[in-house]
Structure 1
Amino acid sequence: MNGADTAFVLISAALVMLMTPALAFFYGGMVRVKSALNMLMMSFISLGIVSVLWVLFGYSLAFGDDVGAGLLGNLDHIGFKGITPETLTGGKEGIPVLAFALFQLMFAVITPALMSGALADRVKFSAWALFITLWVSVVYFPVAHWVWQADGWLFKLKVIDFAGGTAVHINAGIGALAAVLVVGKRIGFKKDPMRPHSLPLVMLGAGLLWFGWFGFNAGSALAANGTAANMAMNTQVATGAAMLGWLAYERIRHGAFTTLGAASGAVAGLVAITPSGAAVNAFGAILIGLVAGAVCSWAVGLKFKLGFDDSLDVVGVHLVGGVIGTLLVGLLATDGVGGLTQLGRQAAGAFSVMAYSFAVSWALAKLTDKLIGFRASEEDELSGIDQAFHAETAYDFSAVGGAAAARGTSAHAEQQIRNKKVDA
């Protein structure tokens, strides 16, 4: 066993695990206060569901020996059958298979969680749990096999996806779009203000995502080596460039540099560099980041023009950012890899995943709706799904009223407090 590489992969797995709670904060701050806890839970539940499925059959479907045509792994490793703590990758020297499996599990966990932002404020929690159970089983596990297993058909096609542009971001982004089209728009979409209730939470989540993404990207080298160092550096500079690109577009288009724009731009850069960072140099990473930041900032407005209600811009950031990063690596890859031939391979990978994920995700959303109903009731949506599904609220506003009364606040001030509650 290579101890240094094993330690590096285990630490990277822990960093990627942190990204799911970070995503919960990022999304949780972006929604209205009445559904903040539900948004947190839509990410957190993935840690439970996907972890169990991964051991039962997910790892085997994704990384088991191919059953034919490069589409799916076999079931030889159900329940991690045949895998012991001494089983190593790479023959005589490598890392434990369990370390690799743990690292890949964290990718499987965060991918459906990414989709949750598109459906904020309006779906049953039980339906969401059922949907992601079906989705990772039928969509994520097979696509991960296509992209990362040596026998997978996209791997054999030589599609470059170092850390998840196709399997994670394009997959989640297009799947989210399919689910949105089934579930429908929020009540008041394009009419009522639906502003983020806590921008500090958004910034905290974005910062933790940025931190954890070093494990996501550099850890995908599966070794403490130069490839990991290159990927880590490119992750940093692409993310910084994307934030600047988003803010520049936002300033020109809307006249302000917003904190939400800075956070969203950073995430767009993280998404775009994920598939490409190990194959480009630092200048290529900066270019990818700038393009992703500006284009994703433009793309988030498409939902208003096209009429689909992607609540927290999963399509505009993850789908568009994933496509940008996946395609640009075809042109910017170094060492003679980049060119039109590689661009064609990248396009084949991106659009084949989009087609499969959209069709199957739409079918699974329809099935979920038919079985137990996907959409929350109108009453629950209007009153707040935190109380309806979790019997809790994110903040105790009664303490605010009590303190005001104790200070002898005027009736006018008390009415202002009540109005703030209603607005929230």
Structure 2
Amino acid sequence: MKPYYENINLDFFQVFFMIVYLVIFFFLLMFIARKLLLKDDKFNRYYFIGVLSMYFVLIIGDIKFDYIPLFPDTQLYYDLLIGKIKTVPSIELTIGFGLFSRLFYFLSCGNIINYILFNSIINQIGILLLWKSFRIYKKDEISIKNQRLFLIFSAIYPVSIIYSLTLLRESYFILAFSIFLIGIMKKSKINIFLVLGTTLVIIFRTKYVIFCLMIYAIKLLYCNTIKLKYKAIGTILLIPIMYFGLNYVAVRYLNIGISPAELDDFRNSQREIYLNSGMEYPYVVWNTWLDVFKAYPLLIAQFLLSPLPILVDYDFLNSLAYTIDAFYVIIVLVLFLFNIRNNYKNLFWIVTILSIIVLSSIFEYFLTGGVRHRYVAILMFIPLLFSDKKEKGLYGNRSFNFFTSKRKYKTINFTGKKYK
């Protein structure tokens, strides 16, 4: 039994209060869904009843049979949650997880099971917000069918289920990242969602400061009406500016320089922490950027398919839940490749996904860490699996014109609303 379940008495009153919380959460999710999703109330009711019932059964089953993995950092998170530890050197835990988790722990009446239910609902709200960001990106040119399939695939995503029912910060991060996505996908260069989302993302995962700045720089370049050739010139000029700018930020706030030698030192020093665990990445020797680029394909493959043995010789059958997740990821990637012909209009969305994968891969040094850190990227792939030819690109049909189009057009989207 997990340490935080040791004092839990699964009696009538505990089950009753779980059901009361679930009923409240159901109405909360239905209210939020009406704001974030295309109108589909009947399906949404069945969907939320199914998801909440699944969480209810899985939590009770985990208390009885202990089948959800106990992650190495769980005790630290639990101690922070209950106030046994007040602060740790990491801003991600002290401010990010610490403040938010204690608020929801208070709303859970100090009951760890009710808190885990809160955690699962936060994860669901994050998923709904991510879909809202895709709606904004596509200007509502999406179908009910795509929305339903997105919800179903996200509900059965193994990692989404696992981290909904643990004490880690993944649910908070998906919520924060989805708010950032809404802000970045909006046409305006600065908006409240962008500011709030960026702040929360950095609080929960500091290394994402590089990602947020990079994606925002790309948005600034393409969020205007200049001609395509000037955007191409701007891209060429943007690369060195982004490199020096991001290097400055990385050194100042992460103490990591963006150079082969610095990245080499970072990876090799971090892997020493997990030495002899059998899950650390191999030692690297990166003297030039060519060395880094040559290593990238296998780093990305290992990141996406952990815990399958690509760079790390590991018996993946010892991590059954993670292995199931790896096969789920393979299914998602295969479906994306099969449907790639219908996604050429979604270039900026895909660029965002690839940026997450590329940046996360280079900082990943522990085998199963990739399972956690690819969560957001895989969720972002799901809306692309079922895009069809009727769906337009963002503010127009040209694949490279991410945010604006000089052409005016009139169309009727799948919701019945008219756009000009």
Indicate the structure with greater helix content: 1
Q: Structure 1 length as normaliser, TM-score?
A: 0.37
Query: Which structure would you say has the larger RCO, counting Cα contacts within 8 Å and 6 or more residues apart?
Result: 1
